[in-house]
Amino acid sequence: MAFTRLVRSLFATLMTLTLGLGILGAAPASAASVAAWMTVATNHPAAACNVETSVEVRSGGSPMVGAEVEIILSDDSSGAVVDSSVSTTNDSGIAWLSFNTGWSGAEKTWLEVRVNGSYLGGRTIWVDGSSCSGAPSILDLSGDAPVVTDTWTASSSSASSSSSSSGSFLSPVTYAQQRPLSCEYAAVQISTSMIGYTVTEYEMEDVTPLSANPHWGYRGDINGSWGNTTDYGIYAEALIPGLNYYGYDATAFYGGTDTLTDAIDAGYPVIVWLGMHGDDSIHETTADGTTYQVTAYMHVMVVYGYDESGVYLSDPGSGVTRYYDWGTFLWMWDAIDEMGLIVGA
């Protein structure tokens, strides 16, 4: 167990250095020293509990608004993730989350906290109690976290394109996915809402097959937990037939910021696949010998604009617009071979 904790600590340090220094010289997101406090309803919940948790994040004495906060519960001995939850901080700098103890496993678990992808710390949770709440506990955390700007944006039924020498933008639409792993279908709903008839995430699901290979269909349980590669999602090519069914053209591509920016210039939103924790990928093979990649902590967003400094996206995971500088965006996009889907072209 001490060895597992050491490995986890070294991994967290590596993540912090990676986020702080960038990958292969890419410019990272700016970092800020933050103070954070995690409140847990009980450190000794019973099994099959949904334990309420909140994380308050402040920087320079002020609330850090729109920060992405993730809590990850793992088996303390094996390190296997058993549950996770993601939310964004409100105007008071507080994110409301929960974790579930409804699994069969060891009593001792580890609950870690990440802010904008950066590890801040964690605590032991003993699944040996008789209720789902009790004496709340507060854990004081601090560290450096990448600064990511999130802003709420009113929904729009159509997109218009504006461009200048410094960039190009469509009118953004925001929408929050309805299931834990429906971000791809929700991204279709966002992108089609920007340019015409709205194809809902449920309509898209109805015309899309299932497959272990995400290039061929949806992989896994759409109500599963985010971050693993078993209950997973779907890739660009497998969304095209469904979009065609509803009257939309779509083009999948791999690599090339020029392809991305040209699409935005032409008035087309682009769905992008991102490795939110970087390149944490494995390869699997189908029965006929086809090899494909799956990446832990994969997430999908819709690019609606760009400028010289970075990329602007609509995030179905939290229902907000999001900005990443080019270095941070490419670090995540490169993890899944810069996969993109131009909707409407």
The residues, any chain, with a CB within 8 Å of residue 121's CB and separated by 6 or more, are 112, 113, 139, 141, 143
Give the predicted TM-score (pTM) of the model. 0.60
Per-residue confidence (pLDDT) for residue 158, from 0 to 100: 36
Q: Give the strand pairing for 320-325 and 310-315.
A: antiparallel
Can you tell me the distance from the alpha carbon of 313 to that of 117, in angstroms, rounded to the nearest whole number?
17
Per-residue confidence (pLDDT) for residue 163, from 0 to 100: 52
Positive or negative torsion for Cα 87, 177, 276, 165: negative
Map 72-132 to HEC letters: EEEECCCCCEEEEEEEECCCCCEEEEEEECCCCCCCEEEEEEEECCEEEEEEEEECCCCCC
Q: Examine the pLDDT at 330 and tell me if it is beyond 80.
A: yes
Whether residue 141 contacts residue 57, with contact meaning beta carbons closer than 8 Å, is answered with no
Per-residue confidence (pLDDT) for residue 162, from 0 to 100: 57
Whether residue 311 contacts residue 167, with contact meaning beta carbons closer than 8 Å, is answered with no
Q: Which range, 31-40, 72-81, 185-194, is most confident?
A: 185-194
Q: What percent of the chain has pLDDT over 70?
A: 82
List the domain boundaries for the chain.
2-146, 150-343
Say yes or no: domain 150-343 is CATH 3.90.70.10: yes
Can you tell me the distance from the alpha carbon of 163 to that of 149, in angstroms, rounded to the nearest whole number?
21
- 16 or 326: which leads in pLDDT: 326
Whether residue 271 contacts residue 187, with contact meaning beta carbons closer than 8 Å, is answered with yes
**CATH class entry, domain 2-146:** mainly beta
Q: Examine the pLDDT at 25 and tell me if it is beyond 50.
A: no
Can you tell me the distance from the alpha carbon of 240 to that of 204, in angstroms, rounded to the nearest whole number?
10
| pLDDT tens readout for residues 221-279 | 999 988 899 999 999 999 999 999 999 999 999 988 999 999 999 999 999 999 988 88
Per-residue confidence (pLDDT) for residue 6, from 0 to 100: 38
